[in-house]
Structure 1
Amino acid sequence: MRILQVLTLLSPAGEFGGPATVAVNQSRALAQRGHAVTLIAGSFDEPGSAPDVPGVRVLTFPTRAVGRGRGFARIVAPSMLRWIRTHAGDFDVAHVHLGRDFVTLPAARLLSWGNVPTHVQTHGMINPRPSLPYQVIDRALTIPAVRHARTAFYLNDVELRKLRAAIGGSPRYSYLGNGVPLPDAVRPARPDGLPEVLFLARLHPRKRAVTFARVATELAPRFPARFTIIGPDEGDGPAVDEVLRDFRASQDAEVADRIRREAPIPGGRVTERLAQAAIYVLPSIHEPLPMSVLEAMAAGLPVVVTDTCGFAGLVADADAGLVVDDSMGALSAALIGLLTDPARARAQGLRGRHAVEQHWGITSIARQLEEHYDAAG
């Protein structure tokens, strides 16, 4: 099959988060199963910066912002739309990772108008919005894009309820998990022998990197462990840096060095970076579908998430880590428990990996996609 995958943004720094990870994972898995896959996306960078995805043709198109800033909802990629008009007929099926944005919404409409069987996957990005500007956008673009899709994929019941509220009940909704590859289960020991507690996500206020940094400053002097923060800055970078500066000023060099903020890494290096850690933490609130949690579980790490995380039930049911409330005290207690009982932490990590292997493996997801694509042909 000739498959086109469409994404809002593909960035070396991983700024678009989970949807980009899902699109790359799906594209790679489908290519490994013998399909001709093309992945197209907007980019904040030069076209030559497109990542290398084995077996997949990756094309990126420059974006520009409509209005102030360059938030994802305000970017446009006119050259991508021109490319779709020219090349839509080259594909048997299209899969659009759909957001309420001006990259993927017009792309989905163009593909449908071009009679390309088109499926959409919304990644929790389309929720009911009562304000007039959103209503106008939804009536003109969002609702038609979802209703005319051959399939509208959702990840959980919460997303399905929100989609039905925003779009209505007529589309062909279908459940689809966010498949992740299973890396080598053997993790190399860190050179210093210290376990690493890792936060790897966008530094957006909802992710609460500042909360993690503050808890780390309490624990680093008491426990021989490292605490690392990695991710592109989306507002909280300066606040995190201030917490770390204050900590360094009050500690000797050896302790101060245990908490670090590292530069963002490309999506292709996430698995490798996770393999260096012992515990993964995402203290975000009302986080619907955090791919980083699945990736950490696939890597065999115990995870700590809040009770408003969309994967809290998965973590609890698999006993793959700890689910806490949004207080600093609860997060601190969870990390103390894992750091003082490494055998328990390792066992939880292995259970998480098994749960992902059973239900979220990317090969299984690719097979499901093939069935949907074939049915639409």
Structure 2
Amino acid sequence: MRALHVVTLHTPTHDFGGPTRVALNLCGGLRAAGEQAALVALGDGFPAGPLPREVDGVPARLFPARHVLPRFEVSGITSPSMLAGAPALLRSADVVHVHLMRDLVTLPMALLAARMGRPLVLQTHGMIDPTHNRVARAVDVLGLRWVLKHADAVLHLTDTERELTRAVVGPPATAPAMAPAYRLVNGVAPQAMRPPAPAGRPPTVLYCARIQEGKRPQDFVAAMPTVLAKYPHARFVMAGPDTGALAGDMLALARSLGVGHALEYIGALDHAGVLARLRSSDVYVLPSVKDAFSVSVLEALSVGLPVVVTRTNGLAPEIAASGAGRLVDSAPGDPENGTRVGRAVLELLDPAASAAASEAAWRLARASFTLDAVVDTLRGLYERVSGPHLPGPRRTRPARGLRPGRRPSAARAS
């Protein structure tokens, strides 16, 4: 099986975060299972010279990013050379798996794959939902709705994501139904349990995600006074690419609260660096209110690191049920957000609570979110949407072979 994963962007500092990491994880898992999988994306921020042909062990076809609409940031980049070569790339694959957003990379590739009759799987990562933005709504009318109807499968992380994506297509009474929807959770490679903290080491609290408004790093910083009141030597580490140009503001906020001495910003990390920081920390905090299924939270769980997340995080139900961390209420602009996060961190710094949550986190990741299980599900889905090999250079796509009445054993239609 030859799977082509299309994602918007890859940079040396992993600025695009989750979707690219998920695509790389899935490609790596597919290859480990004996399938052929490769990544197609734009490359940006690399030194002059040829772009890498491999990312984290995954074959990659990266095209130089051209910023044609700078004010739209990642949604406004494209590559004429990628679009020109797209038909050949798409024909080379048995399944085209597009990590879809409203942009000039994944949406054109998905539209072309559907028009060419290529077996097409869409994964939206919580990025496709109803909007009042006029430009985004125009994109929906010009192509997004059509491709959501004509794909072979649309993958969702949660029931909420599925319903929001369906709402973009339109009410069933007035528009054809969205393509069959299947749940596919994110998965991570199993990891060894992190070692106990050395005796006498100050507690370390970690934020490791993009530094941007949507991730709410200000709530992480605002939690510091509450924690430092009990643990005056605690250290707070903020890691991740500064895509929102907010790192300086966060350091200034810490100084204004009188806790600047306890906060360190270390910038973007590679994957090995992320795992190393997770292993050397005591609590992981992600105050984002919109993460559908955060890979960074999964990676924290995988090493047995207790987590603090908002109740709107897609992993919140599993974290609460297992005892792998604490949930907090959060709303943009609420001055109590930081205090609530701080109190949750204090709970998890208690030695007994920390030990119980650490064990629960590690077991949860192993039981429910291993990459092998996710890849097995995905392979079963690919087999159904790709259909039998037919003679000639192209294959006829099966007519709606994934309707809910015909569910593949490894995936669940909904």
Q: Which moved more, 1:283-292 or 1:37-46?
A: 283-292
Q: Following the alignment from structure 1 to structure 2, what is the Cα–Cα distance between the partners of residues 190 and 12?
A: 33
Counterpart residue type for residue 135 of structure 1: R
User: Match for residue 99 of structure 1?
Assistant: 101
The answer to whether residue 76 in structure 2 is matched with residue 67 in structure 1 is no
**Is the 1:190–1:276 Cα contact (8 Å) retained in structure 2?**
no
2:266 equivalent among 259, 262, 269: 262
**Is the 2:70–2:77 Cα contact (8 Å) retained in structure 1?**
no
1:342 equivalent among 351, 360, 363: 351
The answer to whether residue 51 in structure 2 is matched with residue 48 in structure 1 is yes
**Is the 2:96–2:121 Cα contact (8 Å) retained in structure 1?**
yes
Query: What are the Cα deviations for residues 38-90 of structure 1, in whole angstroms up to 9, with x where unaligned?
Result: 11111222353566322x21121121223333512222122222232223222
Query: What are the Cα deviations for residues 260-301 of structure 1, in whole angstroms up to 9, with x where unaligned?
Result: 111111245322321221210011223333221111111211
1:330 equivalent among 335, 340, 357: 340
**Is the 2:4–2:39 Cα contact (8 Å) retained in structure 1?**
yes
Q: Closer, same or farther in 2 for the Cα pair 1:246/1:272, shift >3 Å?
A: same
Query: What are the Cα deviations for residues 92-135 of structure 1, in whole angstroms up to 9, with x where unaligned?
Result: 11111111111100011222233321101000111112444333
Q: Following the alignment from structure 1 to structure 2, what is the Cα–Cα distance between the partners of residues 82 and 205?
A: 35
Match of 1:280, SS state, is strand
Q: Closer, same or farther in 2 for the Cα pair 1:8/1:192, shift >3 Å?
A: farther
**Is the 1:220–1:227 Cα contact (8 Å) retained in structure 2?**
no
Matches within 5 A, 1:167-316: 167-168=169-170, 169-187=177-195, 189=197, 193-220=201-228, 222-223=230-231, 224-233=233-242, 234-246=244-256, 256=261, 258-316=262-320
**Is the 2:348–2:357 Cα contact (8 Å) retained in structure 1?**
no
User: Match for residue 320 of structure 1?
Assistant: 324
User: Match for residue 37 of structure 1?
Assistant: 37
> How big is the shift at 1:335?
1.4
Q: Closer, same or farther in 2 for the Cα pair 1:336/1:126, shift >3 Å?
A: same
Q: Which moved more, 1:116-125 or 1:262-271?
A: 262-271
Query: What are the Cα deviations for residues 220-248 of structure 1, in whole angstroms up to 9, with x where unaligned?
Result: 3641322100111113222112134446x
**Is the 2:215–2:286 Cα contact (8 Å) retained in structure 1?**
yes
2:164 equivalent among 162, 166, 174: 162
Match of 1:309, SS state, is coil
Query: What are the Cα deviations for residues 161-216 of structure 1, in whole angstroms up to 9, with x where unaligned?
Result: 10110024331111111111112223375697233110001111121212212322
**Is the 2:207–2:286 Cα contact (8 Å) retained in structure 1?**
yes
* Aligned residues between the structures: 369
Match of 1:69, SS state, is helix
User: Match for residue 405 of structure 2?
Assistant: none
2:121 equivalent among 119, 124, 132: 119
> How big is the shift at 1:356?
2.0
Counterpart residue type for residue 177 of structure 1: V
**Is the 2:288–2:310 Cα contact (8 Å) retained in structure 1?**
yes
C-alpha RMSD of matched pairs (Å): 2.2
Q: Closer, same or farther in 2 for the Cα pair 1:218/1:265, shift >3 Å?
A: same
Match of 1:5, SS state, is strand
The answer to whether residue 383 in structure 2 is matched with residue 374 in structure 1 is yes
User: Match for residue 394 of structure 2?
Assistant: none
Q: Following the alignment from structure 2 to structure 1, what is the Cα–Cα distance between the partners of residues 152 and 245?
A: 37
Q: Which moved more, 1:33-42 or 1:44-53?
A: 44-53
Match of 1:9, SS state, is strand
Q: Following the alignment from structure 1 to structure 2, what is the Cα–Cα distance between the partners of residues 191 and 125?
A: 43
Q: Following the alignment from structure 2 to structure 1, what is the Cα–Cα distance between the partners of residues 59 and 198?
A: 35
**Is the 2:227–2:343 Cα contact (8 Å) retained in structure 1?**
no
Q: Indicate the percent of aligned positions where both proteins have the same amino acid.
A: 32
User: Match for residue 391 of structure 2?
Assistant: none
Q: Following the alignment from structure 1 to structure 2, what is the Cα–Cα distance between the partners of residues 202 and 96?
A: 22
> How big is the shift at 1:22?
0.8
Structure 1: gaps of 5 or more residues: none
Counterpart residue type for residue 299 of structure 2: E
**Is the 2:325–2:357 Cα contact (8 Å) retained in structure 1?**
yes
Counterpart residue type for residue 348 of structure 1: A
Q: Following the alignment from structure 2 to structure 1, what is the Cα–Cα distance between the partners of residues 345 and 367?
A: 27
User: Match for residue 334 of structure 2?
Assistant: none
